[in-house]
Amino acid sequence: MIDYDKFDIASLRLKYQQHPSYGLINIPNFLSDDMTQQCADELEGLPLDKANTLHAKAVVCMSTTTCQLHLYKIRLVHELHSSRFLHWLEHLTGVEKLLPDPHLVGAGYMKSFAGDTLKVHTDFNWVEEIHLHRAVSIIIYFNQDWDSNWGGCLNFYDFKIEEILSSIKPDWGNMLVWNYHNLVYHGYPDPMTCPEDQSRKGMRLFYYQSRSKPDAENPPHRSLYWFNSKEKLPYDIRQKT
């Protein structure tokens, strides 16, 4: 599914850090051809009435967070939520202690069509379901032979929306990664002109951080198998004097 060994993570991290204003990188051929094809086929066959359609401020796309009948989505999400991938992503981005969202809030498969747009915007910064702060976003695309002239390239702007810093083509198996910042403006505001039998396909996932601190009245400890019968409290034998 993902051949981690083929990537020079040190070089990728340097490129990520060199992006102007905020960390961002597009990694070609991140996903294997087989998995990319399986996801593309699965998403192509997704009934439109089973998806959530978003129409907020000229955002027109189709996404789904349901996994029940999507075998390859389940497999891919499982890998991208795994400990191995999280550590790899932390190494790439320099963002530590990343956490996935098991509820896939705002995440999952996405699909858009001719005439669709994505208004330039900044992303949500908090997920209420797990009370965590947005830290890193990824998109993996499943589009074979996508023509840039059709539009649909995801533009990333400077903090004043005066200059396009990067324009990412939704290609075959590439993965786009960027750090969350409240001024990371992005979108593709011009209607796509792809043929009617084509669609812009991908999967987006978001990663989070906790800003909680240890409780001073109940500091972190290992499991306690020792009980003080006099004080009626557990204790750590290593700390017993």
Domains of the chain plus CATH, in order, are 4-211 (2.60.120.620)
Most confident of 50-59, 104-113, 184-193: 184-193
DSSP 49-94: GGSEEE-STT--EEEE---TT-HHHHHHHHHHTSHHHHHHHHHHH-
Task: Give tens-digit pLDDT for 10-41.
Answer: 999 999 999 999 999 999 999 999 999 999 99
Closest among 210, 139, 213, 133 to 173, alpha carbons compared: 139
The pTM of the full predicted model, rounded to 2 decimals, is 0.92
The pLDDT value recorded for residue 124 is 96
Cβ–Cβ < 8 Å for 210, 132: yes
Over residues 73-107, the pLDDT tens digits come to 899 999 999 999 999 999 999 999 999 999 999 99
In this structure, are residues 97 and 91 in contact, taking their beta carbons and an 8 Å threshold?
A: no
- Is pLDDT above 70 for 8? yes
